Structures are given as C-alpha cells and as structure tokens.
Amino acid sequence: MTEAVVFDLDGVLLDTEELWDEARRLLAEERGARWPDDAQRVTMGMSSPEWSRYMHDVIGLAESPEEISAEVVRRLEALYRERLPLVPGALDAVGRIGARWPLGIASSSNRPLIDLFLELTGAGETFRATVSSEEVERGKPAPDVYLEAARRLGVDPGSCVAIEDSENGIRSASAAGMRVVAIPNRVFTPSDEALSLADAVPASLDELTPELIESF
C-alpha cells in the first residue's frame, strides 16, 4: 500500500536539466576550461559536493568545490527569480497527488534552490519533507537521498512511490526499494535498462494520477 509519494525536482517539476548544464558549461568556459560533451550525463544526479569536485578535479577549475557550487547556485537562483521554469502541469500534478498522499522531494539540487522553488510556488506546506543530496553521504544513483526522504516522512521506503525522469534518479529510487514512476527526460533520455526498473512510464505529468499510482 502506498503511504507517501516522493518527487524528484529537476526534470520532473522544473525543466532545469539544460539550465544546469548551461550554467556549469559557461562557468567552465569563462575559466578557460573545456566542458566535455558527456559532462551532463556524468554529473546528472550527482550531489553538489560531487559535481563541484568533478569540476575542480576533472574539468580543472581553480576555485574550491565550495566556491564552484556557490557560483552555479547563484546563477540558477537569478534565473529562477526571473522566470521559474516549471514543467507544464507540475503544480496540478502535485495538487492531485498531494490530495491523496503525503509528499516529499528528493533532489540533487542544492538546498537553497529547493527552498526557492517552494517559496516561488507557495508549495512549502504541500511537501512534508524535502531532501537535498548535499545533505546525505552519496548522490544519485545511490539510494541515500530517497532513503532519507522516507525517514523524514516517517514511512518505510517500500511503501513509497518515487516520481523520476533520469537514469540515475530511477536507479536511486529503485535501489531505495521504492516503486518508481518514470517520466523520461526529453533531452537526457534514460536507457531502456533503467526504464525497465520503473513500474509505470507515463508520457507526461498529465498522466500522473492517483489511479495510476494505485494500479501497481
């Protein structure tokens, strides 16, 4: 029986995957470094300590990982305040599902960006627990962020349904023992192997309904 539903943020509720890639790429190029073609797939789902360490150690930025992370977050905060990039139907889907179950967020976003999303949408009371992967030991695809979300919600991970879009996110939620609804990211599409871990693969948030979740 489902006791709670946990949403990913980037790619599910916010159309930000390309914004993250652009912010990190531009920062690297401004510092005279090259942003590899596969960097977005490599960093997708990483916690901020992990991807900022990657930018320092692998991409070669001189700033500390903490400084790199803070600068990328600053740029994204400015973009959010200018125009929050909500996925079409995101708040309607949250409302439908939240009317039936307690909700959580398990995100690779930094805490300030999660809180800014809640502030700008007025959804702070809707989500009972929110977790940034910077608050746990390992980012996605490790299960840590989803396990922590279930703990904060006070439910067993096996009684949760996760809403995900990415390869590493699907793997993270599945590894946590949650059932998974995968809405594939349109740009960084998950592999067939990852999608096989999902219990349902709707085309969009419009198809995310209580009836769908109750069907498995």
Bridge partners, residue 86, by sequence: 14
Catalytic residue among 8, 21, 144, 165: 8
What's the Cα-to-Cα distance from 196 to each of 170, 176, 205, rounded to whole Å? 10, 16, 19
Closest CA to 94 of 118, 67, 60: 118
The reply to whether 21 belongs to the active site is no
Q: How far apart are alpha carbons 31 and 19 in whole angstroms?
A: 18
The reply to whether 8 belongs to the active site is yes
Pairing of the two strands 4-7 and 160-164: parallel
DSSP characters over 80-126: HHH---BPTTHHHHHHHHHTTS-EEEEESS-HHHHHHHHHHHT-TTT
Any idea which residues carry the catalytic annotation?
A: 8, 10
